[in-house]
Amino acid sequence: MDKTFVALDGMNRQEVFDLLSAYPQIKNVKVGLELFLRYGREFVKELSQKYQVQIFLDLKLHDIPTTVAKACKTLDGLNIRFLTVHATGGAKMLELAKESISKTVANCEILAVTILTSHNNSDIKGIWGRTHKEALINLLNEVAASGVRGIVCSGADLDIVKSFEEKASLSFTKVCPGIRPGSDHDDQVRVMTPQAAMDAGADFLVVGRPITRNPEVLRQNLFP
Q: Which residues are the active-site residues? A: 60
Q: In sequence order, what are the residues at sequence separation of 6 or more whose Cβ sits closer than 8 angstroms to the Cβ of residue 45? A: 77, 78, 79
| Cβ atoms of residues 98 and 145 within 8 Å | no
Cα-flanking dihedrals φ and ψ of residue 60, to 5°? 45, 55
CA proximity to 61, closest of 29, 101, 28: 101
Quickly list H helices, the chain: 13-22, 33-51, 65-73, 91-104, 121-128, 132-146, 158-168, 194-200, 209-212
Q: What's the angle, vertex CA 176, arms to CA 41 and CA 95, rounded to 5? A: 60
Query: DSSP states of 146-181 as a string?
Result: HT--EEE--GGGHHHHHHHHHHHT---EEEE--B-S
Cα-flanking dihedrals φ and ψ of residue 61, to 5°? -65, 140
